[in-house]
Each structure stands twice: as C-alpha cells, then as structure tokens.
Amino acid sequence: MILSWIFVAILTSVGLGNLLDYIWFETKNSGSIDAYTPNVVDSYTSLSNYQIYPANNRFIKFHVKACENAFVLLSSDINLHSSNFYEICIDGHSKTQIYLRVRRKTSNVPKNHSFDKPGLLNCSEHRTFIVKWEESGRITLTAGTEVVMDWTDTTPIPIQGIGLMTGWGSDGMWIVEHSSLFTGYYCGVTGSFGDMTLFSTSHNISVIRCSSECALSEDCLGFNFQRKKKICQFVAGGQPVVKSVARGWKFYTKCLRENTMCLGCIV
Ligand SMILES: *[C@@H]1O[C@H](CO)[C@@H](O)[C@H](O)[C@H]1NC(C)=O
Ligand SMILES: *[C@@H]1O[C@H](CO)[C@@H](O)[C@H](O)[C@H]1NC(C)=O
Ligand SMILES: *[C@@H]1O[C@H](CO)[C@@H](O)[C@H](O)[C@H]1NC(C)=O
C-alpha cells in the first residue's frame, strides 16, 4: 500500500496527555474463507496497520458488532505474513460454535477445535471480548465476563501480530482498545477532508488555535481546516475515519505516541 500523505506536525502546548483509547474500523464480508483457505491471512485487517502491537501485553480487548463469524488471527508475524497462526472464529457454523484453528508451516491442514458457545454476537449491538495468550501456550477467549474458550497448545506459536476479519456473509464494526498518550502532534493530509460526524465548526480561526482547541477536548479526533476562509470543523471521536478528496481543505488528526500513530494518515 502506498500512502500519499505528508506528515505535518503542529506541536501545541496545551491539552497534552489526552487518552484516546479506541480505534474504530469496519471489516467487510470476506466471503466463505477461513484457516483452510490458502492465503486467508491476506483477508485479515492487521492491527499493525493502526500501529497497535499487543505482543508484549499478551492480550487484546475489543468490541465487535457483527451478526456472526467474527475472526481473530494470532500470527507469528507482526504483519500476518506467516502460515504459523491461530484463528479464532466467534459464532461460526450458523452462530453455534467457537472454532480455534491452528495452522503450522509444517502441515498443510489446520487443526480445529470447537467449543459449544452459541450466540455470542449480536447484529445490532457491540459485544465485548478479550483474547489472552500466555507464554505457556494457553489461549483464552472471554466474552463479557465469561471465559468461553480455554485451550492450551503444547507447542506454542510465539504471537507477534493480530488480525481481525468477518466472513460468511457478515460485516463487522470493531472497536479495539489501546492506550496511548496524545503528545501534541497532528498530521495533516492536504486536499483531503474527514467526511465524518462533526461536533462543532468555528470561523475566522487560525490553524494553531483550531489545533489547541481540539487538543483540549478528549472527544476531538481532529479537524478539517480550510485555509482560505479559515474554517475549522472539529471532528468527533468514536467513529471510523472516512476521508474524501476536497480541494482547499486539509484533514488533521491527532497523533499518539509522539508522531508514530496518526489515524487520519494511516487509514
Ligand atoms: C472443523 O471445522 C469444520 C468446519 O470448518 C467442521 O465441520 C468440523 O466439525 C470441525 N471439526 C472439529 C473437530 O471441530
Ligand atoms: C441484540 O441486541 C438487541 C438490542 O439490545 C436486542 O433487542 C436483541 O434481542 C439482541 N439479539 C440477540 C439475538 O441477542
Ligand atoms: C473575520 O474577521 C474579519 C477581520 O478580523 C472580520 O472582518 C470578519 O467579519 C470576520 N468574519 C466572520 C465570519 O466572523
């Protein structure tokens, strides 16, 4: 993927330390594929695209809204380019089972294990899950507060990367939790516009004041700025980033962890 953005940092001196801890994104139905499909890993959205690297924490917490067949890939490669992985399928087989599939380089056929836990997902409501993996090879899935899968691999695959996917007719809206500090950097995409829900618009405002005001608000994900008319539109958090081409506008989003993680530039 080629990213056509220029990194622009505006360092503000106020409002530093806002904790932005949810990344929203959507996965489209990937069709009838799973660990048995060659190259299935290409259909997963890697959390490394969002600069989320949970290898050291050994768990991820997410909320997903999907009707069925929500998949989590635990891969030995940070960008999922490996055929050593675990695949967890939530509400597979017509919402009746959890599947845990293990694929190893040494074998063409994955092993699957099923767990009788039906109806964990809901088409119209986000449901919360935690996937944990221990050095010992133990992998657990918690749905809400209940442990719904607990399995131990006797020859553990070291996990470096995480992928998410929906398939078998199902789309998914994901919210992945992470914690990072906003340290005052923004990145701006010239000729682009965050086509998203706004929470307010200011006129006659400089880009510096606009960024300072956004920095003060935890609900502000970034802003659209029109230099000519000095219009600043504050973009609300809690929604996926959707960009449109718009001449004369620039879409700024907050960066986390210094300037390594800037939603508007990496999506
Ligand atoms: C393995 O998965 C297939 C579907 O992908 C299923 O039909 C089969 O019952 C599973 N086997 C076990 C042991 O869970
Ligand atoms: C999904 O959530 C909605 C809204 O809370 C609820 O009315 C519905 O019964 C749920 N469906 C299932 C299958 O749990
Ligand atoms: C913007 O500021 C200029 C001068 O500072 C003023 O003349 C103009 O009326 C202002 N426009 C708006 C929409 O407030």
What percent of the chain is modeled with pLDDT above 70? 88
- CA nearest ligand 3 atom 11, residue: 204
Given the CA of residue 123, which atom of ligand 2 is nearest to it?
Answer: 1
Q: Kindly give the distance from the C-alpha atom of residue 154 to the centroid of ligand 1, in angstroms, as a whole number.
A: 20
Which CATH number is associated with domain 29-170? 2.60.120.200
128 or 219, which is more confident:
128
Alpha carbon distances (Å) from 8 to 1, 143, 189: 20, 40, 8
The domain limits of the chain are: 2-8+182-262, 29-170
Distance 100 CA to ligand 2 centre (A): 25
Q: 197 or 265: which carries more pLDDT confidence?
A: 197
CATH fold group of domain 2-8+182-262: Hepatocyte Growth Factor (3.50.4)
| H/E segment holding residue 209 | helix 207-216
Q: Is 263 left (phi over 0), alpha (psi -120 to 50) or beta?
A: alpha
Closest CA to 144 of 73, 235, 64: 64
Dist. CA 234 → ligand 3 center (Å): 19
Decide whether any atom of ligand 2 lies within 6 Å of the 95 Cβ: no
Span 35-65, pLDDT tens digits: 999 999 999 999 988 878 888 889 999 999 9
| pLDDT for 265 | 77
Condensed to tens digits (0 to 9), the pLDDT of residues 88-132 reads 999 999 999 999 999 999 998 999 999 999 999 999 999 999 999
